[in-house]
Structure 1
Amino acid sequence: MGGYSLLDGVRVVEVAQLAPSSVGGHLADLGADVIKIETPGRGEGVRYAGAQAVGGPDGPGFMHLRWNRGKRSVELDLRTAEGVEAFLRLAASADAVVEGTRHGYLDRLGLGWERLAGQRPSTVLCEVSGTGAEGPYRDLATGGMWFDAYAGLRTVDTARPSPPGVMGGSAETPQAMYAVGAYGAMAVLAAVLRARTTGVGARLQVSSADVAIAWMPDRIDGALNAGRTHRRPGWTADGRLPDWPLLDAYATKDGGAMVFGSHTPKFWRAFCDAVDRPDLLEVDLASVDEGSDARARHVWRELDAVFRTRTRAEWTALFLAHDIAGGPVNTVTELVDDPHFTARATTYDQDGFRFAASPVRVVGEEFAPQRAPEFGAHTDEVLGEIRASRPSITTTTRGTET
């Protein structure tokens, strides 16, 4: 049911809500059989999340269609004896279990690491949470916007209400909320690979707060080592290269913008030749001295005027023709019509809709996942499979197996 065939034969049982469902989502995109356990009567919380409903006012949300595509949905009550038995048999048949709720959910049900590893020593359990297993914020109810704010990645404006279309005091897109799935999937695959080779399982823990911390190493590592670092020669006191105008964004004739990334001599020379501005090459943008800021600002003003003489499309064509580093700036609406976007396999069609495909490309295969399942759609199918195969449940106690 997944998008590709790379993980054919890998089974993952997922007990997750909202963003942690993206861990199983990445694995399903690569071809794993991801069995999503959903609570009776409610189901996955992300099913109807978001301001846009697909197919009708009560239709699913895009995050559900992305993160849960290619999975099989099983309605199972883990608070009942029948649900516990079915879950344990599913876990015994799987390479990995993903827990993506507030930390300790499976433990509180008696279905955590000790129970799972006891019945199958090669089990991989990936516990995905907001704040992790330790620390004073462990039990803090959190959400996607907060992780970045906690780690200093999200700037907020408390002086006024959020403008239309913006929530959480900032228009910045959450980063850790979306990145946690990739980290979790990477960890699961590494642990499964080891388990298949050695028979040794692993208990993994990935938190969105920790992902936010790790996302910008220059910031956090710099803060951790304050007073023990030295300013690198050739950089300005405010942390920029002296040729910062060659690493900036500029407005274009059509009201758009271009990102200019031509600070290496090769690209800078190609640009000046292409726009017939050899005089700019004479400006010293390498030295850091009392006049460096004035020289940089002069070049910025000149480039600002130059970039306003052409449209984004014209600049993009010129960059390609003359091997100049940079590219056009898009809004999301403009992106879907961008020629590079439309020329590549960045989307797939399903049920009359278009969706963004996995960023992974497998040469020779088409990305074609099954649609995210209806709530409980595979309950009978999956439970029938484990009844037929009857995977063994082993309990290990003090070195003995029963």
Structure 2
Amino acid sequence: MSGYSLLEGVRVLEVAQLAPSSVGGHLADLGAEVVKIETGPFGDPVRIGGSRAVGDENGPSFMHLRWNRGKKSVELDLRTDEGKRAFLELARTCDAVIEGMRGGYLDWLGVGYERLREVNPKIVFCTVSGMGSEGPYSTLGTGGPTFDAFAGLRQVRTPVDPPVDGIAGGTTPPIAMYALGAYGAMGLLAAVHRAGRTGQGCQLEVAGIDIASAWMPDLVDAELNKDRSLPRPTWLPDGRLPDWPRLEAYRTKDGEAMLFGAHVDKFWRNFCVAVDRADLLEIDLASTDAEASARADHVYRELREIFLQRTRDEWVSLFLEHDIAGGPVNSVGDLLSDPHFRARANTYRVEYPGVGELEFVASPVRVVGEKFAPDLPPVLGSDTEYFLETY
């Protein structure tokens, strides 16, 4: 079974590899029947992607276990006439098709949107790629970090010496690659909703570079309109608020860190009272005069010393007791043992044959009254006979 029941009755055909498989992954988590079309002998390369394998050295990757959980797998060679006929017959019964290869792949095979709508006028066709179908780079092969680098979303490192920290491509983790599935699923579901109302499907496109470009309006939209906007006088010339120390991370007594989030005056006042430093409330952190930066630097140094007086856990307790905004800075290991993370039932367990019980992160969507318990990803081609004989 797939995760929840929200999309029960929705069927999606997926021809996707690697990150675009996450579009169908989100849909399967919400209850859609996602039929993944794969070609042997190995199927989707994400099955064995990643630095760690489950069970043995050729075992599945964690990206596969996340993005392909709850799906069905049909082994089908779309390069053959027989495979194309079977694909079109399946499409007759589906609400949507996901093309998660380079844009135009299914058109090249002769089973793209125009052909699909001939057999199913209500079909929604969602193509997911890195560079999109238009523009001079549309045929350029890409990967996750490429999207962020293209859009100027984050600084990309170009070290002189070989990197030693396992960060490939100069950025980690890639933002747009992991957002790809959510945007694709959102657009696809909106189109399926309209098709149910009008009887007409449509063609959608989601590209990794477009997601990266649209991610932060304060970057791209501000640059697009820099000649029609002006600096806000309540901000410093360097782009920071004059009270930036109230929105900073600080090292704690035990070598960990807390992220301080007391930009709102109430939280700042509660903090200063709780640590018996009412004198900090007298410092002007609102004005943007010539001395503003010096005042902020002074407050930062004071806060740095204050946070070193307690452990991270002690600060969390104090923040909760005195209504102060902020939170712990966790590593992934810290996150998994964090009492708040554990209390929210963020994981589920499933038995993996030959390995034992495995634990995975659940969908961030919560459905009250339902338990998230999807099946493991399918074995390559495990559902071929059922679907090809039935349809």
Matched, 1:76 2:76: yes
Calculate the aligned-residue CA RMSD, in Å: 0.8
In structure 1, distance between residues paired with 2:77 and 2:102 = 17
Post-superposition CA distance 1:183-223 (Å, at most 9, x none): 00000100001101110111000001100001111101111
Corresponding position of 1:395: none
- The equivalences for 1:225-374 within 5 A come to 225-351=225-351, 352-374=357-379
Secondary structure, aligned partner of 1:74? strand
In structure 2, distance between residues paired with 1:151 and 1:199 = 37
Secondary structure, aligned partner of 1:7? coil
- Runs of 4+ aligned structure 1 residues displaced above 6 Å come to none
Corresponding position of 1:169: 170
Corresponding position of 1:400: none
Matched, 1:375 2:376: no
Post-superposition CA distance 1:293-331 (Å, at most 9, x none): 111111000000000000110000000111100000001
In structure 2, distance between residues paired with 1:223 and 1:147 = 19
Q: Offset at 1:227?
A: 2.1
In structure 1, distance between residues paired with 2:194 and 2:156 = 42
> What is the number of residues matched between the two proteins?
385
- The equivalences for 1:49-128 within 5 A come to 49-128=49-128
Secondary structure, aligned partner of 2:121? coil
Corresponding position of 1:142: 142
Corresponding position of 2:178: 178
In structure 2, distance between residues paired with 1:275 and 1:385 = 69
Letter in 1 for 2:239: G
Q: Offset at 1:334?
A: 1.1
In structure 1, distance between residues paired with 2:24 and 2:95 = 12
Worse overlay, 154-163 or 322-331: 154-163
User: What 5-or-longer segments of structure 1 have no aligned partner?
Assistant: 387-402
Tell me if the contact between 1:95 and 1:192 (Cα under 8 Å) persists in the aligned partners: yes
Post-superposition CA distance 1:227-246 (Å, at most 9, x none): 22111121000111100000
Corresponding position of 1:390: none
Secondary structure, aligned partner of 1:168? helix
Letter in 2 for 1:370: D
Secondary structure, aligned partner of 1:218? coil
In structure 1, distance between residues paired with 2:389 and 2:349 = 31
Tell me if the contact between 1:3 and 1:368 (Cα under 8 Å) persists in the aligned partners: yes
In structure 2, distance between residues paired with 1:128 and 1:148 = 16
Worse overlay, 111-120 or 21-30: 111-120
Letter in 1 for 2:40: P
Q: Offset at 1:226?
A: 2.3
Secondary structure, aligned partner of 1:217? coil
In structure 2, distance between residues paired with 1:47 and 1:33 = 19
Give TM-score, length-normalised by structure 1: 0.95
Corresponding position of 1:389: none
Corresponding position of 1:204: 204
Corresponding position of 1:13: 13
Corresponding position of 1:129: 129
Tell me if the contact between 1:161 and 1:169 (Cα under 8 Å) persists in the aligned partners: no
Secondary structure, aligned partner of 2:348? strand
Matched, 1:221 2:221: yes
In structure 2, distance between residues paired with 1:361 and 1:242 = 38
Secondary structure, aligned partner of 2:162? coil
Tell me if the contact between 1:98 and 1:128 (Cα under 8 Å) persists in the aligned partners: yes
Worse overlay, 254-263 or 223-232: 223-232
Percent of pairs with identical residues: 63
Tell me if the contact between 1:243 and 1:285 (Cα under 8 Å) persists in the aligned partners: yes
Worse overlay, 156-165 or 334-343: 156-165
In structure 2, distance between residues paired with 1:138 and 1:49 = 24
